[in-house]
Each structure stands twice: as structure tokens, then as C-alpha cells.
Amino acid sequence: MSADPLSLSISLTDTARPAGEVVLTNDGEDAIRIWRTGNDWGDGTLSFVVSRDDDASTVTPAPQDYTRNVPSSFEVPAHGSHRFAFDLRDGSWEPEAVLAGLPDGDARLTAVFEITPTPESTEHGVWTGQVRSDPVALG
């Protein structure tokens, strides 16, 4: 089996919040379908791990209420990318306590993009798996 065609990177614009962009890149020869945000399937695909020394905590999107909740996906073209803007202090991430004391010279931020297999992912031909960025310093 070949290596996963997806890779993930973080571009920080503000280490104190932290805020910036996560870039999901498709290095493969074929388009890859992923979940669109704004529904239960897509909103949990991106999370962050804040690491300090030997401690690591996960920051996830806060739960949302939807008036219409249906699976929706889109394609990341071959050799293309998709950018996710983020601001971990904008109130849409939890737990906020993980962010206390940032920026911290020892803290590192890693982005995690994951889609777990479900009947809907199979039906819609959505990629499943997990990719992680390299950690970036927050101090």
C-alpha cells in the first residue's frame, strides 16, 4: 500500500491566540473527497494538540446545533490544497483551559485532521484516516 497522499501543516499568524491557517495538501495523483465543515461529519475533522513538556491536551471544536444537518463533502484536487483558518480563542474551540498561559516557550501546537470510517463516508466516497502536522512552537 502506498503512503497517504495527504499532508498537514500549520502557518501561525499569532502565537498568543494561537491563530493562523492549517493547510491540508493532496500530494497524490487523484482528487480526494473530504467532509465540508458546517455539519456533524465535518466539524470534528480538525483538532489541535497543545503539548507542554510531557503533557499533551487536545483542543476540539465546540459542539454546534444545526437547523439542517446533512453530510456534505468536496474534493481537494490532485496536487492541490485546502486551507482552514483558525483562531483558538474565538470561542468556537474547547476546552479553553488548555490555552491558559499561552504563549509559552515550551508549548507546541500540532494540527490533527481525521475522518473516521462511517456508512456516510463510504456512501459519499470520503477519504478516511488521520494526518498530523509537525509541531510548531508557541513561544
Residue 121's domain spans which residues? 6-137
Map grid coordinates 484536487 to a residue. 77
Question: Is 129 among the domain residues?
Answer: yes
Separation CA 129–CA 2 (nearest Å)? 14
Question: Is 23 among the domain residues?
Answer: yes
Question: Is 35 among the domain residues?
Answer: yes
Phi, psi values for residue 32, rounded to 5°:
-125, 130
Which pLDDT does position 105 carry in this prediction?
A: 76
Question: Is 20 among the domain residues?
Answer: yes
Q: What is the pLDDT of residues 30-63, one digit of tens each?
A: 999 999 998 999 999 999 999 988 889 999 999 8
Q: CATH code at 95? A: 2.60.40
Question: Is 1 among the domain residues?
Answer: no
Which pLDDT does position 113 carry in this prediction?
A: 97
Which pLDDT does position 133 carry in this prediction?
A: 98
Question: Is 94 among the domain residues?
Answer: yes
Query: What does the angle CA 131 – CA 132 – CA 137 come to, to the nearest 5 degrees?
Result: 165
pLDDT above 70 as % of the chain? 98
Question: Is 70 among the domain residues?
Answer: yes
- Radius of gyration in angstroms for the set of CA atoms belonging to the chain, rounded to a whole number: 15
Question: pTM (2 decimals)?
Answer: 0.93
pLDDT above 90 as % of the chain? 73
Q: What is the pLDDT of residues 6-39, one digit of tens each?
A: 999 999 999 888 999 999 999 999 999 999 998 9
Number of structural domains the chain divides into: 1
Which pLDDT does position 103 carry in this prediction?
A: 76
